[in-house]
Structure 1
């Protein structure tokens, strides 16, 4: 993380020095530049820069012995493509029309389908709450009011013991993995909400925790406590027999627009 910050600071510093040098030369009539034209033509370099940052950050997993963060990789490639295409358009080079780009939107569904097909049915208990690994670091936010979201990437919770509390998770394109097997459950009722647009929601529960689950998947598959269904607008509910009388209760409210919802006891 410190290395990335040093590189970011170095790049910004070099850009500022370069801009100052160009403007200084222009003031002394050594060169003739128009700041407005430069900004109008080369602003897509901002997208290229952030695309490279996301791309390199996602590929660090190869060198650190971790798996590649697919959400961050995908978003980095998208920013690179958009930035390069805008730049080519501004400079008069061949570029792809935005109408043709829009025709490629089904690739998102293909990507998510392949991700669901290749993902393991039961994942290891390797995610954490206190040491959360999240893809799309540029777009992930956590608020003090118990709301956390990630536009592109992953939200993984549960590696070491942690205190469970009311929380709302949301992901745009990616996955939410909640491993509650080592969670410290408070007395009373705890509510967890997890929602997404495209991707998957996986929840792993301890075997004896009284739970009530409401799951809704607009398009895809749903598996709650072994009850599986798939198709369009599928909704499944579950409640433990001793839920109403239990001192410690968990309520799960899960929904996904397109993808997969899965809740299992491990």
Structure 2
């Protein structure tokens, strides 16, 4: 069974709601420009943040900010013993896995943001499978860069399936740049 990320669910729900509001505006002029649209949009965003805060899976560490930057690993070693899930509303997410102490096994690092940048540095000796998604912006994975709308790409190291230590990286962004690079 395919597991959808919360970013995909949020984006699908947001686009569906936007379409419904536009349809309502066409059928009943003035409703959207009146006092209905923005309160409902704010309620929807609030419920989404609450839902994300309540759903934590065993063995997962969660970090997030509505505004501001999230940085891991630029100031020295840190432990990646649990799966890592980072959410950011507006701001940058920077994860340096070259400074991470990673035990054997498969670990998941997921970074989602609405507006900003997501940067992940992967050490040369670490097996990885990295997926990047951008609704509007640029996607740079290793040496390949694409700019545009609705971008998605996955790159996997040659030894990923047999490596003792490996990391599955998922980086999603609505507006901005996703960059996954070798350190």
Q: Bin the TM-score by the shorter chain.
A: 0.5 to 0.7
Q: 1:228 aligns with which of 145, 150, 157?
A: 145
Aligned to 1:253: 170
The alignment partner of 1:181 has SS state of helix
Aligned to 2:42: none
CA distance in 2, matches of 1:171, 1:192: 14
CA distance in 1, matches of 2:67, 2:153: 27
Residue 123 of structure 2 corresponds to residue 200 of structure 1: no
CA distance in 1, matches of 2:127, 2:61: 22
CA distance in 2, matches of 1:186, 1:224: 25
CA distance in 2, matches of 1:204, 1:150: 21
Aligned to 1:161: 77
Q: Which has the larger radius of gyration?
A: 1
- Give the superposition deviation at 1:208: 1.2
1:14-53 deviations in whole A, cap 9, x for unaligned? xxxxxxxxxxxxxxxxxxxxxxxxxxxxxxxxxxxxxxxx
Query: What pairs up with 1:88-237 in 2 under 5 angstroms?
Result: 145-158=60-73, 159-164=75-80, 165-237=82-154
Contact 2:98-2:121 at 8 Å conserved across structures: yes
Structure 2 length as normaliser, TM-score? Answer: 0.66
- Give the superposition deviation at 1:211: 0.5
CA distance in 1, matches of 2:181, 2:67: 25
CA distance in 1, matches of 2:139, 2:86: 18
- Give the superposition deviation at 1:145: 4.8
Q: Report the count of equivalent residues.
A: 127
- Give the superposition deviation at 1:146: 1.2
1:195-217 deviations in whole A, cap 9, x for unaligned? 00000000111111110001100
CA distance in 2, matches of 1:224, 1:208: 17
Higher helix share: 1
Taking structure 1 as reference, are residues 145 and 248 closer, same or farther at Cα in structure 2, changes over 3 Å only? closer
- Structure 1 gap segments, 5+ residues each: 1-101, 103-140
1:182-240 deviations in whole A, cap 9, x for unaligned? 21111110000000000000011111111000110000000011111110000111000
Structure 1 stretches of at least 4 aligned residues deviating more than 3 Å after TM superposition? none
